[in-house]
A and B are shown apart, each in its own frame.
Chain A
Amino acid sequence: NAGVTQTPKFRVLKTGQSMTLLCAQDMNHEYMYWYRQDPGMGLRLIHYSVGEGTTAKGEVPDGYNVSRLKKQNFLLGLESAAPSQTSVYFCASSYAGNTIYFGEGSWLTVV
């Protein structure tokens, strides 16, 4: 049972480049989330999904896009990376309103 798996774990991007972070969960959870965590701060919700084919904006959605084409996968895209998007990104999943299971994080640096 892998839980929540994120790839890649580390990535360095140049300003203006694009990339996609992949998240997969094997717990058949309806809800999936993408958060970012900056030094000394808590997690800020970027986007979330309440089921396959649905997405919704969180607290800090600008500069990011997401897709949930399959129930087990939630993709986070950066179309044109900016230094302000340097952060640690966490994917998570849950049954509605219950315990949230997190991935181990993806460290992204934009230079």
Chain B
Amino acid sequence: SQQGEEDPQALSIQEGENATMNCSYKTSINNLQWYRQNSGRGLVHLILIRSNEREKHSGRLRVTLDTSKKSSSLLITASRAADTASYFCASITGGFKTIFGAGTRLFVKA
């Protein structure tokens, strides 16, 4: 089974709305990362949050981490049609083994 699991599997919203995606993981981590994948392309790094951090911002992105619940969330504010993509969380263990979840497919309607 995979270390990370995203929720929801798919999300459809209107442009301008906020999109929230959640991720759960199973074992202790060194850090957790979020990636974006456009159809047919490789993954692109969005943001990294370390195990001793609780919240991090980058532009329209906000990531939270709750190590007691082994969960993280990614919030995209004021979404745009160009944000349409799949989003993956990746949990990085102390041994730097990186495990990805199944992803959330986000569709932003113009």
Contacts and interface: CB of A to CB of B under 8 A. Distances in A.
B-side interface size class: 20 to 34
Given A90-B43, A103-B42, A105-B41, A45 B96 contact: no
Contacts of B31: 97
Interface in A88-111: 90, 92, 94, 96-105
A74 interface: no
A12 to B, nearest CB: 17
B98 A100 contact: yes
Given A42-B2, A90-B42, A102-B43, A97 B99 contact: no
Interface string B79-110: 00000000010101000111111110000000
Contacts of A45: 97-100
Interface residues of A, number: 27
Consensus secondary structure, chain B interface = strand
Interface in A59-107: 59, 90, 92, 94, 96-105
A59 B99 contact: yes
Given A40-B102, A100-B35, A104-B42, 5 more contacts: A42-B4, A42-B102, A45-B97, A45-B98, A100-B33
Interface of A: 4, 31, 33, 35, 40-45, 48, 50, 58-59, 90, 92, 94, 96-105
